[in-house]
Amino acid sequence: DSGVTQTPKHLITATGQRVTLRCSPRSGDLSVYWYQQSLDQGLQFLIQYYNGEERAKGNILERFSAQQFPDLHSELNLSSLELGDSALYFCASSGQGPGNTGELFFGEGSRLTVL
């Protein structure tokens, strides 16, 4: 158990809908990362937050947004869902600074299926 908790584990929804994925980092970790894992694209970095502020952005679509709350949990919001958004979404956390951070600890992921 990595200590990173993600909910829900599975989610099935329809095209055009909006969903929110939630992540609770390891106790004390200030950095949260979101990754998308799909069969054809592998594991892709989406976005990083450090202590409530956005620190780095990867290949995150404009339909997607994220935030990190004062209690350090994070949410990834996916809207106007398309079939191609079906994937595993992982949250990871680390305990060091916003720059050269330490080891990433991954949660078990949220599996999103868009029908």
Partner 1 sequence: QKEVEQDPGPLSVPEGAIVSLNCTYSNSAFQYFMWYRQYSRKGPELLMYTYSSGNKEDGRFTAQVDKSSKYISLFIRDSQPSDSATYLCAMSPWGYNKLIFGAGTRLAVHP
Residues making contact with partner 1 (CB under 8 A): 2, 4, 42-45, 48, 55-56, 58, 90, 92, 94, 99-109
Q: Token pair of 36, please?
A: 């998308």
* Separation between Cα atoms, residue 40 and residue 109, nearest integer Å: 17
In the complex, what is the shortest distance from the CB of residue 20 to partner 1, in angstroms, rounded to a whole number? 19
State which residue, 16 or 84, has the beta carbon closest to partner 1: 84
In the complex, what is the shortest distance from the CB of residue 14 to partner 1, in angstroms, rounded to a whole number? 24
In the complex, what is the shortest distance from the CB of residue 89 to partner 1, in angstroms, rounded to a whole number? 11
State which residue, 15 or 41, has the beta carbon closest to partner 1: 41
Is the bond into 25 cis (omega within 30 degrees of 0)?
no
State which residue, 3 or 16, has the beta carbon closest to partner 1: 3
Q: Which of 48, 38, 27 is CA-nearest to residue 98? A: 48
CA distances from 45 to 36, 57, 59, 91 (A): 7, 8, 7, 10
